[in-house]
């Protein structure tokens, strides 16, 4: 039986690695991205190109109204993306983002009659986001199997987090071994319309450190 999976695809470094890993494991992949009112919208252009390059079965970009809720530097025009290292839960945290993303993935999974969902969360370089921890993933997986028709009828959803315990450098090494081209990814919280990175936000700092750790040239396009 052919294996099928939904992969949450942001257009960033982690999500392209997860997509490459899912493909390596023999999954036919469906990619899911979100236009949630983020300032760094260039990532969606990157996601579309990545989905096409990896020949996913289908790529959906779902528009969400996070911008009307605001409260995050990624969605609120009145909150600047910081250019210094943040402690604790940073202002770039988007309230309930991964819960909502995974909920959409779960709904699509039921429609497609598939049980595997991949997401690129990471508990090592997770930037203080509470919805990137293994405790959250385990709780959501339990919810998925309690609150769905498929779960009640005995099917079992699995939320795959292959990057959970890897450092950014280890993620990059894994991706390079799979032939990933990181130049086409956008991780920056303040990327310009051409996808060029600012080089100073938390996402850029983690990404830069990852390429240094992996001891490979950083292919990121900076403004």
* CATH number for the domain harbouring residue 126: 3.40.50.620
Q: Is residue 83 part of a domain?
A: yes
Identify whether 223 is part of a domain: no
Instruction: Identify whether 166 is part of a domain.
Output: yes
Q: Which residue, among 152, 45, 36, has the nearest Cα to 99 in the 3D structure?
A: 36
Domain count, the chain: 1
Give the pLDDT confidence score for residue 199 in this predicted structure. Answer: 95
Q: Does some domain include residue 194?
A: yes
In a domain, 71, yes or no: yes
Which residue range(s) make up the domain with 74? 4-214
pLDDT at 126: 65
Average of pLDDT values for 25-36? Answer: 97
Higher pLDDT, 68 or 169: 169
Q: Is residue 30 a part of any domain in this protein?
A: yes
Quote the percentage of the chain above a pLDDT of 70: 98
Asked whether residue 99 is assigned to any structural domain, the reply reads yes
Its pTM stands at 0.94
127 assigned to some structural domain: yes
Distances (CA, A) of 151 to 4, 30, 91, 218: 17, 20, 36, 43
Q: Has residue 164 got a pLDDT over 70?
A: yes
Residue 159 confidence (pLDDT) above 70: yes
């Amino acid at each position: 039986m052919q294996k099928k999976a939904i992969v949450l695809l942001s257009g960033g470094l982690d999500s392209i690695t997860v997509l490459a890993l899912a493909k390596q494991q023999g999954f036919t992949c469906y990619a899911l991205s979100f236009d949630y009112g983020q300032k760094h919208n260039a990532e969606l252009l990157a996601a579309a190109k990545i989905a096409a390059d990896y020949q996913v079965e289908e790529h959906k970009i779902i528009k969400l109204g996070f911008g009307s809720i605001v409260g995050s530097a990624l969605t609120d025009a009145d909150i600047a993306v910081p250019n210094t290292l943040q402690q604790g839960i940073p202002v770039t945290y988007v309230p309930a983002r991964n819960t909502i993303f995974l909920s959409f993935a779960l709904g699509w999974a039921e429609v497609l009659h598939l049980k595997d969902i991949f997401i690129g969360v990471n508990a090592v370089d997770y930037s203080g986001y509470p919805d990137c921890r293994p405790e959250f993933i385990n709780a959501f997986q339990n919810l998925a199997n309690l609150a769905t028709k498929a779960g009640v009828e005995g099917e079992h959803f699995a939320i795959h987090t292959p990057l959970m315990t890897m450092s950014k450098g280890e993620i990059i090494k894994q991706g390079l071994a799979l032939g990933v081209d990181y130049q086409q990814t956008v991780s920056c919280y303040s990327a310009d319309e051409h996808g060029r990175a600012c080089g100073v936000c938390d996402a850029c700092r983690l990404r830069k450190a990852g390429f240094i750790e992996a001891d490979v040239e950083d292919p990121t396009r900076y403004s």
